[in-house]
Amino acid sequence: MTARRAPSPETVPRAVLALIAAGALAALLPWWLQTTAVAGPAGWLTGAGRITGLLAGYAAPVLLLLMARIPPLERSVGADRLARWHAFGGRYLVGLVTVHVLTIVWGYVLTGGKGVVGEAVEIVLDWPDMIKATLGTLLLLATGALSARAARRRLGYETWYYLHLGGYLAVALGFAHQLSTGADLGTGPARAGWYTLYFGTAAAVGWYRLLLPWLRDRRHRLRVAEVREEAPGVVSLFLTGQRLESLRAEPGQFFRLQFQAPGLRWAANPYSLSAPPHPRFLRFTVKDLGAHSAAVAALAPGTPVRAEGPYGAFTARRQRGRKVLLLGAGVGITPLRALLESLDGELTLVQRAHRPSDVLFREELTVVARQRGARVHELLGPRADVGDLGAALARLVPDLPGHEVYLCGPDAFAAEAERALRAAGVRRSRIHHESFAF
């Protein structure tokens, strides 16, 4: 009997994108059915305003759903890919809202003969729910500006996280305006669909982002059991609790941890498991990259911890072949260390570091590799000494193009490694990468 081939890990992401695209077309259907003709510049402008308004109104809840921490999406698509889609779509949402405002005002200027300022003031002050919509638009544009890459680099994770929550308020403020002044939605199925989309999104966000973490916190009662130094500036955090097996965490996944200690209780940062989950404890490894991680290293045993998760698709579910290369650098080695202990097949782990002192889990990896029949290599030295990364990997890993690759590390390293692997002949579909810097 022929073994059934595992489905491609890209099947679900492609299906989700197709569903989003179909939803966008459905959002435009009311305009298409109600528009028999478009005449003159004013008609074209207001028509463009209606189209961009419908698309923006559809995109806003979809972007919130992408970040609602819905477990099937997190496991099959991956948290970092969902975050990239969210960021990509957010830029389009800002563009759609901007075009919507400009074309609607300009179209009514041509129709009514008023100046731009006069028409804009009348729309804001006299049209129903437009004051709230204007505030929501300003808040959305501000959130978009703060999410731009240049601004994001200047903000700490916690600051960016809480400022980004302004997007939820912006969507809520704009909802009533879409129904009261959006003639395309009418009173029939289109309006019912709009209510379903928005209230369904609110329910999903409320359940997965608020209520479910609270219930899990009550059920599992996570506490800090031990903080163990692994290397200068690197500690492993052991959390204990109740009924941890019911979390169904998998090696390679991560949690967002919120430590109930001064200065930490309002921030939920992502940390990946650095060992397979155990019924009595969970282990995370943290590198000192700022004030938050330094405070984590000083946590006292017994500190309560709220945890959201497990999240992420960087797991054995993605494996389709027997030969696997685990390639990591920095604290990115943490999920790879967990995967080395749990993946099947011919395993090779390569850890990239500048100095021997930067290597993490050297003794542990040696023991696990001996038990699993795996190979472990350290690729040490400055970039100039290592040379081409693809060539260096080919020397360490025979038949490199025949391997699946689990890749994790700082963004610059991951980008360089993916380019090198592709140049060495590894297919893109066989490179599994998940970033936790979001």
Q: How far apart are CA 281 and CA 244, in angstroms?
A: 7
Highest mean predicted confidence (pLDDT) among 44-53, 167-176, 256-265: 44-53
The pLDDT assigned to 153 comes to 64
Average pLDDT over every residue of 153-158: 64
Q: Which residues contact 31 (CB under 8 A, 6 or more apart)?
A: 47, 50, 51, 54, 184
Report how far apart the first and last C-alpha atoms of the chain are (Å, whole number).
Answer: 45
Residue type, 23: G
User: Do 364 and 389 form a contact (C-beta atoms < 8 A)?
Assistant: no
Q: Which residue has the higher pLDDT, 295 or 432?
A: 432
How high is the pLDDT of residue 2? 39
The 10s digit of each residue's pLDDT in 75-132 is 888 888 898 899 899 999 999 999 999 998 898 888 877 788 888 888 888 888 888 8
Structure tokens at 415: 């980008």
In degrees and rounded to multiples of 5, residue 225 shows phi and psi of: -95, -40
Give this prediction's pTM.
Answer: 0.80
373: left (phi over 0), alpha (psi -120 to 50) or beta: left
| Cα–Cα distances in angstroms (integers) from residue 380 to residues 385, 409, 414, in the given order | 9, 15, 16
Q: Which residue has the higher pLDDT, 164 or 339?
A: 339
Question: Quick check: 285 and 338 in contact, CB under 8 A?
Answer: no
The per-residue pLDDT for 273 is 94
Average pLDDT over residues 298-304: 92
Determine the pLDDT at residue 1: 38
Residue 78: Cβ-neighbour burial (10 angstroms; 0-12, 13-18, 19+): buried
